[in-house]
């Protein structure tokens, strides 16, 4: 038994924050941002809009794409670093919106690798025969934890959500997943706070924000994502030329280009959305996947390599026959 992607969906907030908007706030320019990152704009959640709102929209689009009804779902896994609440978890909040209570629903936090981690878990449930219709979502409200006085991070992050539905298949869809982490790198990319490390009750803390050692993260990402490319093709006894599409985490165009070079893939065979979305963390890979499928570039039978690296440090890949 294997699992197969049978539906995809995404959601982006209506508000767009361009590089020119950031020029008014920061010592930066559109040309500098595009040269360093490839990003031109990013979407920002509206006041009153929530992580669960975005996850619901992406989930409903994926469910419709799969041709099923929400009540048919028997597993929900949500990857996010920016949940609406510490608890109930984001999976259960989404489950309530969809009206499909009873099945397991949970969220996990692995930063930008969260969707790959969630996909790997849902795949195991389907392979074990414990799920027939699994919903996997990545949803982030990173604008709520970005310090817009910090040029190194303010230019990078945006909000959005992406989702896929998995179903059983006799032929391999999710062929293999590869997950890694190394907590020794935690100081390179992290959020400054959390509930267990918060201030005493009654005090008024400043907001928790993302901190990143940009050049170190860039070098590490190029190295580790290069290694996981090699690991994935070796584990499946493939030549790199067998990969039809690279669907990478959309963090930085130069990192994407370095990974494509490792695969000897021309950029025409890489799904790139970083210019439009910025870095949406766990939403990044499913957003890019949905774009590639909806615009017709990715076709049934194509072999895809999905991969991401995030704070922690965590990293992972999935080899997928769409």
For helices 253-263 and 214-235, angle between their N-to-C axes, nearest 10 degrees: 30
What is the pLDDT, as a whole number, of residue 138? 98
Low pLDDT (below 70) residues in the chain: 196-207
Q: What is the largest CA-CA distance in the chain?
A: 59
* Residue pLDDT, tens place only, 4-15: 999 999 999 999
Return the CA Rg of the chain: 19
Residue from 161, 171, 129, 159 nearest 5 by CA:
171
What is the pLDDT, as a whole number, of residue 81? 93
b/e sequence 158-167, b meaning 16+ C-beta within 10 Å: bbbbbbbbbb
Q: Which DSSP symbol is given to 305? A: E
What is the pLDDT, as a whole number, of residue 190? 72
What is the pLDDT, as a whole number, of residue 152? 86
CB contact set of 249 (below 8 Å; sequence gap of 6+): 112, 113, 279, 284, 285, 307, 308, 309, 310
* Contact between 10 and 276 (Cβ < 8 Å): no
CA–CA distance from 244 to each of 166, 180, 322 (Å)? Answer: 21, 24, 10
Distance CA(286)–CA(290), nearest Å, equals: 6
Distance CA(84)–CA(123), nearest Å, equals: 26
Domains of the chain plus CATH, in order, are 2-170 (3.40.47.10), 176-321 (3.40.47.10)
Handedness of CA 249, 291, 76, 80 (dihedral sign): positive
* Residue pLDDT, tens place only, 24-77: 988 899 999 999 999 999 999 999 999 999 999 999 999 999 999 999 999 999
What is the pLDDT, as a whole number, of residue 204? 45
What is the pLDDT, as a whole number, of residue 198? 59
Instruction: Please give the model's pTM, rounded to 2 decimal places.
Output: 0.93
Residue from 168, 107, 96 nearest 137 by CA:
107
Task: Indicate which residues carry an active-site annotation.
Answer: 112, 249, 279
Distance CA(68)–CA(65), nearest Å, equals: 8
Coil/strand/helix, residue 118: helix
Distance CA(163)–CA(153), nearest Å, equals: 25
What is the pLDDT, as a whole number, of residue 158? 95
What is the pLDDT, as a whole number, of residue 202? 52
CB contact set of 286 (below 8 Å; sequence gap of 6+): 8, 10, 58, 115, 136, 137, 138, 161, 162, 163, 164
* Rounded (5°) CA angle 261-264-268: 85
Distance CA(171)–CA(169), nearest Å, equals: 5
What is the pLDDT, as a whole number, of residue 199? 57
């Amino acid at each position: 038994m294997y699992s197969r992607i049978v539906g995809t969906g995404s959601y982006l907030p209506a508000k767009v924050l361009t590089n020119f908007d950031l020029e008014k706030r920061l010592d930066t320019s559109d040309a500098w941002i595009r040269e360093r990152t490839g990003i031109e704009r990013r979407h920002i959640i509206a006041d009153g809009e929530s992580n669960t709102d975005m996850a619901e929209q992406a989930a409903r689009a994926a469910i419709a794409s799969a041709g099923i009804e929400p009540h048919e779902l028997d597993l929900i896994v949500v990857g996010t670093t920016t949940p609406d609440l510490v608890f109930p978890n984001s999976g259960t909040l989404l489950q309530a919106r969809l009206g499909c209570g009873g099945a397991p629903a949970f969220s996990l936090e692995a930063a930008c690798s969260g969707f790959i981690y969630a996909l790997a878990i849902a795949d195991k449930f389907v392979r074990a025969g414990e799920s027939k219709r699994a919903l996997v979502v990545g949803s982030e409200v990173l604008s709520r934890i970005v310090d817009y006085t910090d040029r190194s991070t303010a230019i990078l992050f945006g909000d959005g959500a992406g989702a896929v539905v998995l179903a059983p298949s006799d032929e391999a869809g999710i062929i293999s997943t590869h997950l890694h982490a190394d907590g020794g790198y935690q100081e390179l990319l992290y959020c400054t706070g959390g509930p267990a490390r918060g201030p005493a009750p009654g005090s008024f803390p400043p907001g928790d924000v993302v901190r990143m050692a940009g050049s170190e993260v860039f070098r590490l990402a190029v190295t580790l994502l290069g290694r996981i490319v090699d690991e994935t093709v070796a584990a499946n006894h493939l030549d790199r030329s067998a990969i039809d599409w690279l669907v990478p985490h959309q963090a930085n165009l130069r990192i994407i280009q370095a990974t494509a070079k490792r695969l000897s893939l021309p950029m025409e065979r890489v799904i790139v959305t970083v210019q439009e979305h910025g870095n949406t963390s766990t939403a990044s890979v499913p957003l890019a996947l949905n774009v590639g499928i909806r615009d017709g570039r990715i076709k049934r039978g194509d072999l895809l390599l999905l991969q991401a690296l995030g704070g922690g440090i965590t990293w992972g890949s999935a080899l997928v026959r769409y």
